[in-house]
A and B are shown apart, each in its own frame.
Chain A
Amino acid sequence: MIACIAILLLLLISFIVTIVYKYQHKQNIHSKEFEALQAAHQNTLLESQLEIQEQTFENISREIHDNIVQKLTVAKLHLNTLSTTDRTTTIERVTSSVHIVSQVINDLTDLSHSLSSEIVLEHGLVKAIESEVELLGRSGLYTMNVTIMGGPIFMHDKAELILYRIFQESINNIMKHAEASFIKINLHYDHELTNSFIMEIRDNGKGFSINQPGSGTGLENIKKRVAILHGDLIIKSCQNTGTIITINIPLHEKESTLQTYPGG
């Protein structure tokens, strides 16, 4: 009987040792796989960030080339062809040049504002979007409407900035391609049900086919930015009825400050 119990105990010990050894072996493999996945994810994020940065530089370059340089060239032409004899034409040309230079200054200020992250970081996403909407509304080209639901909170700086850039990219796409007259922006801070932030941008433009080739870089940028935030992107578009872009990201309040939202 003692021999039998000794054998059983030996069996038990070997069972425990085998299980623990196998488990630890599997755990090591698992942690290595997890680390590799994490590294791959970090790489993808980095690549996306670089691509987005590159795209931003391209946009700035295009803006300078297509708008500012053109205007400055016209101003330069006006100033080069000043005549000392014809006083009236000279005054007209100088006045026109001054007007063009003022426009260029305004454009550069707008560009600088839109590129700057200061407004988002200091006043938050809602304020930044409202200010951008006000600016666009002043142009008279669009009827703009912003609705905020739930109690706005300050999210992490990075998240707010990326959301702001997504918003800008979407508006940019509408301005460039949609031929819309109405833009509606819904911001929903859902603290209770899904604990997520939903940003919806809809327009009444001509719409587009999502699978259409070349409907591309802007949307790709938005997708990449949403992926950085671990969010979901839904695009619905119908020909001649408009487009709805919905971004849904997990809602995490900024922890390091005691900032409270204006009016919140």
Chain B
Amino acid sequence: MNTLNNIIIWIGSGLVFSSFIISVLMPTQKKIYMKGFFFCPFIACLISINSISSRFYFLYSMQVNFLIQIILLLCDLIFWGVFFHRLINMRKESIKIVVFSSIIFLISVYTLYFNNTYTPNLHIHALSNCVKVIFCVLFFSKLFKEILFKNILKEPSFWIVSGLMFYSSISIPFYALNNYIMQNFAIELAYTFFSISNMLVIIMHFFFIKSFLCTIHLHKA
């Protein structure tokens, strides 16, 4: 099971890196929210590099790995806050985004400060994913309220938000229960959970790549 998990990590890292390369190369002139989107796969790349460095090459301890992971997670949350702020572009919704981001940011910083970082603090992941799900729900509610796009399947934001919503909503229970399962059940089950959450990340990045292809299509049109 551990081997499968490692394979998934390597495949995921490769995909995340490809996603980063495509996002750097893609044209973003037509969609304001896509400007700086490369930052998301870039953070994902750093998270992958962090995992690989400590897990496979033992460059530094797991504690440092967890610490770096939480810092990168905070950066990721800031990125999504800015992304949804640009995407939804409504005063009322933007205020909600800022409020939710700030709350989760403060909780994360608090946990980061007081946590011993000897175990991965996956509750923070679960919490930040909850906030991302709320962002996605705000986007979908706006989408259905205002009928913004002619063809939703050619709209990059739809693919990005769908991928993010899928990953965030399904991974919440995996992250929330992971520590509990590690302590109370066989380690294989925890690895399975971890593998599934990594698979979700891979699927999410497939969606991102699809959105980049939509951007290229838009640019040509």
Interface 9-mer from B20-28, B67-75, B83-91, B193-201? B193-201
Instruction: Mark interface residues in A1-37 (1 if CB within 8 Å of B CB, else 0).
Output: 1001100110110011001101110110010000000
Contact of A1 among B143, B153, B196 (CB under 8 A): B196
CB distance from B130 to the nearest CB of A (A): 18
Residue B48 lies at the interface, judged by CB distance under 8 Å to chain A = no
Are A23 and B200 in contact, CB atoms less than 8 angstroms apart?
no
Are A1 and B166 in contact, CB atoms less than 8 angstroms apart?
no
Provide 15 A-B residue pairs closer than 8 Å at the C-beta atoms, listed in order of the A residue: A1-B192, A1-B195, A1-B196, A5-B196, A8-B200, A11-B170, A12-B203, A15-B166, A19-B162, A20-B152, A20-B153, A22-B144, A23-B143, A23-B144, A23-B147
Are A8 and B196 in contact, CB atoms less than 8 angstroms apart?
yes
On chain B, the residues within 8 Å of A22 by CB distance are: 144
Complex Cα gap A23–B220 (Å): 25
Known: A8-B170, A19-B140, A20-B152. A26 touches B200 (CB 8 A): no
On chain A, the residues within 8 Å of B195 by CB distance are: 1
CB distance from B67 to the nearest CB of A (A): 29
Q: What is the count of residue pairs linking A and B with beta-carbon distances less than 8 angstroms?
A: 39
Within 8 A of B (CB), among A126-166: none
On chain B, the residues within 8 Å of A5 by CB distance are: 196, 199
CB distance from B167 to the nearest CB of A (A): 10
CB distance from A36 to the nearest CB of B (A): 15
**Size class of the contact patch on chain A:** 10 to 19
Are B196 and A4 in contact, CB atoms less than 8 angstroms apart?
yes
On chain A, the residues within 8 Å of B144 by CB distance are: 22-23, 26
Nearest B residue to A1 by beta-carbon distance?
Answer: B192
Complex Cα gap A26–B150 (Å): 11
CB distance from B191 to the nearest CB of A (A): 9
Instruction: Mark interface residues in B143-163 (1 if CB within 8 Å of A CB, else 0).
Output: 110010010110000100010
Nearest A residue to B152 by beta-carbon distance?
Answer: A23
Nearest B residue to A30 by beta-carbon distance?
Answer: B147
Are A26 and B147 in contact, CB atoms less than 8 angstroms apart?
yes
CB distance from A25 to the nearest CB of B (A): 10
On chain A, the residues within 8 Å of B192 by CB distance are: 1, 4
Complex Cα gap A1–B196 (Å): 8
On chain A, the residues within 8 Å of B196 by CB distance are: 1, 4-5, 8
On chain A, the residues within 8 Å of B4 by CB distance are: 1
On chain A, the residues within 8 Å of B143 by CB distance are: 23
Within 8 A of B (CB), among A209-253: none
CB distance from B2 to the nearest CB of A (A): 13
Are A15 and B162 in contact, CB atoms less than 8 angstroms apart?
yes
Known: A1-B192, A5-B199, A23-B152. A16 touches B147 (CB 8 A): no
Instruction: Mark interface residues in B104-119 (1 if CB within 8 Å of A CB, else 0).
Output: 0000000000000000
Complex Cα gap A22–B144 (Å): 9
Known: A15-B162, A19-B140, A27-B150. 17 other contacts (CB 8 A): A1-B196, A4-B196, A5-B199, A8-B170, A8-B199, A8-B200, A9-B203, A12-B203, A15-B165, A15-B166, A19-B152, A19-B162, A20-B152, A20-B153, A22-B144, A23-B143, A24-B152
CB distance from B134 to the nearest CB of A (A): 17
Are B162 and A16 in contact, CB atoms less than 8 angstroms apart?
yes
CB distance from A254 to the nearest CB of B (A): 30
Are A12 and B166 in contact, CB atoms less than 8 angstroms apart?
yes
CB distance from B9 to the nearest CB of A (A): 15
On chain B, the residues within 8 Å of A24 by CB distance are: 152
Name the residue among B152, B158, B192 with the largest chain A CB count within 10 angstroms. B152
On chain A, the residues within 8 Å of B152 by CB distance are: 19-20, 23-24
Complex Cα gap A258–B151 (Å): 38
Nearest B residue to A27 by beta-carbon distance?
Answer: B147
CB distance from B206 to the nearest CB of A (A): 10
Nearest B residue to A12 by beta-carbon distance?
Answer: B166
On chain B, the residues within 8 Å of A9 by CB distance are: 203
Q: Which 7 A-B pairs have the closest CB atoms?
A: A30-B147, A23-B152, A12-B166, A27-B147, A1-B192, A5-B199, A20-B152
